[in-house]
Each structure stands twice: as structure tokens, then as C-alpha cells.
Structure 1
């Protein structure tokens, strides 16, 4: 049985941030236009700001459908699936806005120390409805790791722009934006500022070379939910997991020591018989 909420329930936040992939759906107004569904799978890309606002770091791809559709009509849905544990599907229905690389809004959300190679925009969604459903037909999948191909590919293109005197190399990221990301497949406008901004795309070496952290997307933050309580997001979930593992290790050590003590007492009792 499906349930609907006016905002993100606080009990769903840790589960959402744990997911290794989420799906973004948008569509043009033209009934003959192409509906788009895109998977997003890079950790630290999704952020929950409040029960009614989320955003994610949009990386460069071969198309620009989401950005184009949002510029035209703003409609967007984000979907999460449970691929292990209890079955669940969650959808965030909302209105999205695009903040391209080179805008003050982008810089505020994604400073250089948090920027991933190929990052082209911040997509901010005002959530007006949340839906959950059973997900009984979604199969189990075992997560093995994230692919690095996209990050490595656009890292090389960014480096090409950085060494080019004009900051716009033939094989650079801006040239790729110009060629692939200025219009949707239906001809709707896509990136407008990012390919032309004077600043050269760059990210800190720690983000360029960092290994994916364990256990979900997001930032080390705490956000207030609608009830005035606080829900940990992103790396906050990682911290909780770390503390849980540490507590389990401590419990194991205590149990082991207790077992050794009981065994020694047992040996002494037997030896006196």
C-alpha cells in the first residue's frame, strides 16, 4: 500500500542517504518530446537540506536532458530503490532549479574542496510531495563498488583546459559542454553560462584523487526535520556506522574476555573434583 507525505519523513533520511544510486525523471511539455530517466551513482552527490529541499551535484554526461527540462517547466521526480534489506521505493516529487558552474549559487553549494571532476551544475529541488511504496518486485543486488570512469575522463578534460592559454582547449571540458550539453535531444536550451564563463573548471586534488567513502551519499551535516528534531545526513550516517562498528568490537572484546574467565573457572572446578 502506497503512502504519501507533504515532506520527507525523518525516519527515511538515513535510508535515503544509504542508497548507492538514485534515479531522476523529467519531461518536456511537448507531448511528443522525450521523457528522460537518468541514474545517478556518485557518492557525496545528494544532499538533504530540509524535509522539503534537496540538491545534488550534477556531473557532465553525454546529454543535458534534466537541465533542459527543468529550464522549461521545472518538473522533476527523484526515485530511490532498496536493493537489499526490506523492500522499499521512495519518490520525491518537486520543482527543480538549475545553478550552473560559474554562478554564485553554484559556488555557495559546491566550493572547490567539494567539487567533483566534470561537475557542471547544482540541481536544487523543492519537494512538495513524497511517496513510498512496497517495491516487492525489485530484485536483490549486491553492491560491489562505484565506477571511476566518468570522473577520470572529465578530470583529463579539465586538466586540458587548465593548461590551455585561453582556458578552452580543443579536448577540454568547455569544448565538450559546447558540443554535447547546450541543447536537449528535442532542441531545448541546456547549459548557457558554464561553457562561456572565464573561470576554468577545477577541483581540489583531494576530491580528484579521493577514494569513495564507505556507505552512502551526502555531507557531514545535521538538518532539522519538520518536527524540530535533528536527522543526520550523509557522512553523519557514516559516523553512526563507524560508532556502531566500534561498539560491536568493544562488545566482542568484553564477551571474549568473559568467555576466557568462565573457561578458567571451569578448569579450576574440574581439577578439584
Structure 2
């Protein structure tokens, strides 16, 4: 196809005319886009500070702020394309159809979103709580829209989908202020039980991190073929729990050695003691 100079001139003039006619819309649309993004950031910061000032739960603050951020971005995008001259009604219809298709293909993500909402509403745990769920234990670092972020004791980061997390069993170790250590010490049948109980009771009294209310317990848990199993159960605050756990075992071993008491290897029984 051969174009003569007159046709090229006509096309160029038409392009320039259209560009001039639409340039105000294009400029205003991009101006609205850039200003809108800046305003959204300011609104998001203001809302976060306001919720923090009102002493709202940090988990709820971040979750609501993230949702607000994406809602404002969607509204800004619709305003942007509207100023470009694109019919928003047809766009919304297309967006709705796309949303349905995406929703069907991302059912897992929607389940995680719903799970996040349930966690925020019912608060089985919050940020900085130590929980056990889905076979892992860690401190809650962040509750995001789709996943919950845990930091383990050895500083590993674990992301658990909110859908499975909200539908599974959750052990919250931080919900109560104090916690009991459930230890089992096995001694031989030749050992004086009362003497062992006196030694362990003295260890509890000499450890300032062991709470005396509720009172720590030392009792016979089970009589096996090879040993007498003692249930050793001191109470401690959440902050001191692992110190009490380790100190009790170490102090018992040292005290038993000094008293000539022989401990037996402990074999865990299949039946759990939940008392």
C-alpha cells in the first residue's frame, strides 16, 4: 500500500488533533493517579496512627489498614480510567466477570482471607503470642491478610495459611500468665520415694522462679516394670517457664547424684496424663 504525501499529512494532522483534544484528559487522569497515590499513603499513615492512638489491637490495626489501602487503590484506578474516557460501567462488568473467574480459581486464597477475618474477629491469638498450630511452635510476628507469620525459637520464619490455621487446633501458650511444666523422673524401686520427694520439694523452694501459688506438685505417676515414675510439676510465669524447666532437671540430677539416688531411663507411655 503506497501512501502519498497528502495522505501522510492528513494522518499526522488527525493524530495531532486527537492528541490535542485528549491531552487534557490524559494529563488530568495521570495527575489524579499520582496525587491519589500520595494522598492514599497519607490517609493510610493517618489511620494507622489514629488506631494506635486509640489503643486498638496491633493485629487489627495492620489488618484494617491493609484492607483500606487496597480499597482506596481500586477506587483510584476506577477514577483514573474514567478520566481517560473509558466507560466505567462496561469496565465494572468486565471486572466483575474477571473477579468471578479469579475467585473460582483462587478458592484457597479466599479461604485464607476468610480465615484471617475470623482470626481478627475472635482473637484466638495476637501478635507476640507464642502458639502451637499445624505442627509448628513459634511467636506470632505478623497476621497478614492471607497468612500468619511465626518466628520459631531457633529464629526460623514460618508462614501458615490463615484458612488452615483458623480451622485447626491452636494452643496459645501466652493467653494465661502462668504455665506448668510437666516433667517425669523415673527412679529405681530400691529408692526411698519420700526422700526423693523431699529433695525435689527443697529444689522448688530454693528456686525463686518457681511459683509457690499454685503449689508445685511431686507425686507418683506410674509404676512400670523397671521404674517408679514421678510427676514433677512446677509452676512458672511464661517468661521464666523454660528456665524453670531446665533448672529443675539439672538441679534434680545434681541432687540425686549427691544423695546416691539412681534414676532410670524414662520410656514414654502411650497413654497421656492430662490431669
Q: Which has the higher contact order (CA 8 A, sep 6+)?
A: 1
Same fold (TM over 0.5): no
How would you bin the TM-score normalised by the shorter chain?
Answer: under 0.3
Higher Rg:
2
Comparing both structures, which one devotes a greater share of its residues to helix?
2
- TM-score scaled by length of structure 2: 0.24
Comparing both structures, which one devotes a greater share of its residues to strand?
1
